[in-house]
Structures are given as C-alpha cells and as structure tokens.
C-alpha cells in the first residue's frame, strides 16, 4: 500500500486502459491537432489535463459530490457544456478566413492560450468527468488511509499524468498527419470544418448523456 492507496499497480493499469479508450477529450484533441497543428493539439491536451486536475481537487474536497447528488445541478452543467461545444463548432464551420501571413510570437501565444482555455472549459463543463472521478478513485483508497483527501489527490495526479502523456502522443500523431494536408487553403478549410463538426457532435453527445444519480 502506498500513501493510503490499495492495489496501486491495478489502479495504474486500469487508468492507462481508460485513458487509451477514445472518449470526447481524445476527439477534441484530434480535432484541434488536425485543424490547427501540433501546438494547438498539445495546448488542447494540457487544457484537458488542467480541467481534470480541477475535477480532482473538487472531488477530493467533496464539492463534486454536490454535482453527483443533484440532478438539477448535473443537468445545468451538462447543457452549459453542450451549448459551449456546439457554439464553438458553429464558429469553426462558419469561419471562411484563409491562411494568413505568418503571425507574431505574441499572436501565436494568444491563440494557443485561447485553445488551452477552451480545453479546460471543455473538460470542466462535462459533469460526467466529475461523476467518474467520484466513482473510480475512491475504490483504490484504503479504509485505513490516514488522509483520504491526500490519497484521492494522489490517485488523481497519477491518472492525469498517464492521461496527459497519452493525449500529447495523440496530438503529435494527429498533427503529423495534418501537416501533410495543410498545403492548400481548401484543405485547411475542410479540416477546420471537420473540427467544427467534431465540436458539434461532442456537444450533442454531452447533451443526451444520462448518469444515474
């Protein structure tokens, strides 16, 4: 047992398998990587991981339990997240801009920061993530743990670390494919529209999910 954690190797293996399963976060990262390249994909991955870290802290201190126990709170956050994703998707589909001249470092940083923030919000506004952390992590906390909050946070950090590594790999792989398709404005526009469709599909999927509370 490590720091009040039961079966840490089982947890690590299960966490890796769960991270490998292609969920909404993976699709979001792929969409950003395909449409906007490696930097955007990595920033999206880091944003998703930051959102998961916040979910971990909220879960550790019991705040996520309110969301899991309240059907109205769960539904409110669910629809906010769905609306946000659909809105971003529509923006991308309607965007008719063409590839611009090389941007300054400040413009590049600003764009990547915006993608990072969107990744954080995409994860935070998915109440299913909060419910998942509350359901999965406590299974590996020992009943004799002297500090269950600390054990919960440690488990969350392990899960997020393996997830971040996988998400960055997905971003790099997807952007490598996309780099071969960005040779023309037509391809860039199509990739942007595909990204927009992915956003809308993720939003619609989030809107219809049901979790027994």
Contact between 199 and 31 (Cβ < 8 Å): yes
pLDDT digits (tens, 9 = 90+) for 159-182: 999 999 999 999 999 888 877 765
Contact between 65 and 158 (Cβ < 8 Å): no
Q: Is residue 8 domain-resident? A: no
pLDDT digits (tens, 9 = 90+) for 75-125: 888 888 888 888 878 887 887 654 444 455 555 677 889 999 989 998 888
CB environment 11-22: b (16+ within 10 A), e (fewer): bbeebeeebeee
Q: Is residue 94 domain-resident? A: yes
**Residue 102, pLDDT score:** 43
Q: Is residue 88 domain-resident? A: yes
Q: Is residue 77 domain-resident? A: yes
- Return the SS3 of 2: strand
Q: Is residue 7 domain-resident? A: no
**Residue 78, pLDDT score:** 81
Quick one: three-class SS letters along 147-198?
CHHHHHHHHHHHHHHHHHHHHHHHHHHHHHHHCCCCCCHHHHHHHHHHHHHH
- In the block, which residue shows the tokens 């769905």? 82
Q: Is residue 26 domain-resident? A: no
Domain that holds residue 139: 57-98+116-208
Q: Is residue 156 domain-resident? A: yes
Of 172, 167, 176, residue with least CA distance to 23: 167
Q: Which H or E run contains 79?
A: helix 71-94
Query: In the 8-state DSSP scheme, what is residue 62?
Result: T
Number of structural domains found in the chain: 1
2: β partners: 5
**Residue 36, pLDDT score:** 81
CA dihedral 158, 56, 124, 196 (to 10 degrees): 10
Q: Is residue 24 domain-resident? A: no
């Amino acid at each position: 047992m490590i720091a009040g954690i039961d079966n840490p190797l089982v947890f690590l293996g299960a966490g890796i398998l769960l991270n490998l399963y292609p969920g909404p976060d993976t699709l979001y990262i792929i969409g950003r990587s395909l449409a906007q390249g490696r930097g955007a994909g990595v920033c999206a991955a880091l944003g998703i991981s930051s959102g998961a870290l916040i979910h971990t802290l909220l879960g550790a201190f019991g705040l996520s339990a309110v969301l899991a126990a309240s059907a109205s709170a769960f539904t409110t956050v669910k629809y906010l997240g769905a609306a946000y994703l659909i809105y971003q998707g529509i923006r991308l589909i309607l965007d008719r801009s063409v590839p611009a001249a090389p941007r300054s470092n400040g413009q590049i940083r600003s764009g990547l920061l915006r993608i990072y923030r969107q990744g954080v919000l995409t994860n935070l506004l998915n109440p299913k993530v909060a419910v998942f952390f509350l359901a999965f992590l406590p299974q590996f906390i020992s009943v004799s743990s002297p500090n269950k909050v600390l054990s919960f946070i440690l488990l969350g950090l392990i899960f997020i670390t393996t997830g971040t590594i996988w998400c960055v790999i997905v971003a790099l792989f997807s952007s490598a494919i996309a780099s071969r398709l960005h040779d023309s404005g037509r391809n860039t526009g199509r990739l942007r529209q595909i990204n927009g469709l992915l956003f809308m599909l993720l939003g619609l999927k989030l809107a219809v999910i049901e979790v027994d509370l």
